[in-house]
Amino acid sequence: MGIKIVFSDIDATFLTNHHEVTERTEHMVKSLLGKGIPFVLVSARMPEAIYPITKEIGVNIPIISYGGAMALTEKEEVLCSQTLPKDSCTRVLRLLEERWQDAVVNYYAGRHWYVREITPPVQREMDITSARAEVRAFEEMLQENVLPNKLLVMAERELCEEIEQELRKAFPELSIVRSYFTLLEVMDRSVSKAAGIEVMLRHFGLKAEEAIAFGDNYNDMEMLQYVGCGVAMGNALPEVKELADEITLTNEEDGIYVCLKEKGIIA
């Protein structure tokens, strides 16, 4: 069965380590679209942190955001938007505030990113993604029933691992996964990149066996296992490489372009 749709993680997969799109990567996207093959970016990022990338290369494509909690068409129509349960979200925020004051918590709801204050890690994230955080009390958001698609916890590596372990024990109803050593994503249990891809495949009337996906990190593992061909980047974590069907070159070596060219999917 031939490849009819391509999914790709963004950071350290689609982008270089300097958060740039190379000429060959841009050529790859436009070649796919020219052949009628959808290309979908799949990321833990919010939509406003993905669209600057698509705008830069001049394409309108579907995206899967918040690690699978939100999927949008190329016209920015919402296909799905899964939020955290209110009770669980309230308890997670309370526990984080009581036990881990050094962690920075981010509250992502729809097309908005809320923080308690603009700390250095938040500013760094804004500089990298071009998205803008808004200062707002999380308690107010909950009172207004503006529930988050995800909470993002920023912490030093060891602390991040500790928080991950403790939250997983305390909240089995939630999906808790690191997207980087120092970044912890908290979402509804139903959320994963694989679940977001399932929604997108239904939208296009395609099957998982007809899809190829590229990734490098913990939160890409389910996605790579779900599609017909899961490809780990050369810079991927060992655990990701272990379960992937194939391994391509690194994000610095245009791994996606090279893989698709070798398969004859692009010229």
Q: Which residues are catalytic?
A: 9
The Cα 87–Cα 92 span in angstroms is 9
The SS3 assignment for 159 reads helix
Measured CA to CA in angstroms, residue 138 lies from 97, 145, 154 at distances of 11, 11, 16
Q: How far apart are CA 119 and CA 82, in angstroms?
A: 27
Closest CA to 74 of 164, 177, 5: 5
Report the side by side order of strands in the sheet with 63-65. Answer: 78-81, 70-72, 63-65, 39-42, 5-8, 211-215, 229-232, 246-247
CA separation (Å) from 82 to 29, 31, 32, 109?
A: 28, 32, 29, 10
The two structure tokens encoding residue 195: 């679940």
Picking from 22, 2, 23, the residue whose alpha carbon sits closest to that of residue 13 is: 22
Which residues are CB-contacts of 233 (< 8 A; sequence separation ≥ 6)? Answer: 12, 13, 214, 215, 216, 247, 248, 249, 250, 251, 255
Distance CA 151, CA 21 (A): 27
